[in-house]
Amino acid sequence: MYKTFGETIASLRRAHGMRQQALAEAMAEAGMPVSNQAVSKWENDATLPNAQQFLTLCRVLDVDDIAGTFSGGDAGGLLAGLNAEGRRRALEYIALLRESKRFAAAPEVPALRSLPLYSLAVSAGTGQFLDGESYEMQPVGPEVPEEANFGVRVAGDSMEPRMAGYYTALGKAAGAVIKRVPAGKLQKLCGTQDHQGVAAWAARIQYVGVEELLQIAKDRGEPPFLVLCDGIEDPHNLGAILRSALLCGAHGVIIPRRGGVGVTGTVMKASAGAAARLPIARVSNLAQAIRTIKEHNIFVYCADLGGAPLAKTDLSGPVALVLGSEGGGPGALTRKLCDAAVTLEMAPGQATGVDSYNVSVAAGILCYDVMRRRLAKK
């Protein structure tokens, strides 16, 4: 019956009437100190002794025929034709090869399936559409999720050098610490795959007061241009409004402390960073803010159905635009406090089933009209 290496050692030890501790002590006396735990691991086939330990073990256990004892005396095996010394040297060399681990056989990982691997370089920035013919079949293992049905070869760190250079220069100019990380780490930081290759740690924005917005216009020598949001609840809409307001030259945006969304991470992302550049006042009483604005001779327009068409409304001069909630528009008190209402026309004679523009779209149209009129006077 075939015995493993460990079983053979245990059998020889017991034949000499020795415990594992006694065998360890005998090897130490022979000039090769080992622990009884090491002997236990050998006998359990958990580890193998190195060549020197093996030869000392054979001497202590009185093993003369090494090949016959540990290989079952297989005369037709690889050791056939060697004398006792030759067999000893062969086994010693085998033990050294095992110990070095340089010649260990690599485990074979069978490919379970093949997926199309697209060769187009995909990166943040310009991006490309996947071509239905530009791929090669790639064997994949169990590490690829079962639901995956194609792969994409990502170029570099997944961002084009031109875009990476732009964001790096932008960050350094702002005094930020720039760190480039693998795409997987960035996804973990963002908590989503829906990002554009850049993330930033920043302090919460500092809201300002209404008077500060008015002072900004005064310092610039410009007639005040403000945007007020009455009950905007969708962060994407607020972000888009902030973006349009900044690009069209507004001096600031006023939002309520309650009854509307504040500047969140989603708002910041939807605004494309405008929320960090445009002064924002968050007030506890929007009605009082409107009264304060009017005291500075600023004409307040309310975007509302039933108002005067934009084409017939003069949005030049000191102006404030009030935008209401997505569903109900401005509140009743807000409407009452506004100087006038303005409506965006729609194509006549078409039964669209839609009665108004999205509030962020309306904000973009109105802000652009204010900017257009101001530019025309320069």
Q: What is the pTM of this model?
A: 0.55
DSSP letters for 343-357: E----TT---S--S-
Structural domains present in the chain: 5-100 (1.10.260.40), 113-190 (no CATH), 210-376 (3.40.1280.10)
CA 325/CA 323 separation, integer angstroms: 7
Question: Is residue 70 a contact partner of residue 37, using CB atoms and an 8 Å limit?
Answer: no
Of 273, 216, 245, give the one whose Cα is nearest residue 359: 245
CA 16/CA 36 separation, integer angstroms: 16
193 by DSSP, 3-state: which?
Answer: coil
Give residue 166's pLDDT. 76
144 by DSSP, 3-state: which?
Answer: coil
Give residue 194's pLDDT. 67
- Residue 74 DSSP one-character state: -
Give residue 134's pLDDT. 62
Give residue 108's pLDDT. 58
226 φ/ψ sector (left φ>0, alpha ψ -120 to 50, else beta): beta
CA 278/CA 227 separation, integer angstroms: 11
Question: Is residue 281 a contact partner of residue 207, using CB atoms and an 8 Å limit?
Answer: yes
Of 318, 324, 329, give the one whose Cα is nearest residue 294: 318
DSSP letters for 109-125: ----EEEEEEEEEEEES
How do the pLDDT tens digits run along the chain, 378 residues long? 457 778 888 989 998 888 999 999 998 888 888 898 889 998 998 888 887 888 888 888 888 777 677 765 444 445 556 677 776 777 776 776 667 665 566 665 554 677 777 655 444 444 455 555 666 777 777 666 676 666 665 544 556 666 777 777 877 787 777 777 777 777 777 777 666 777 776 667 889 999 999 999 999 999 999 999 999 999 999 999 999 999 999 999 999 998 889 998 889 889 988 999 999 999 999 999 999 999 999 999 999 988 999 999 999 999 999 999 877 888 889 999 999 999 998 887 666 677 789 999 999 999 999 999 999 887
- Residue 329 DSSP one-character state: B
CA 252/CA 208 separation, integer angstroms: 9
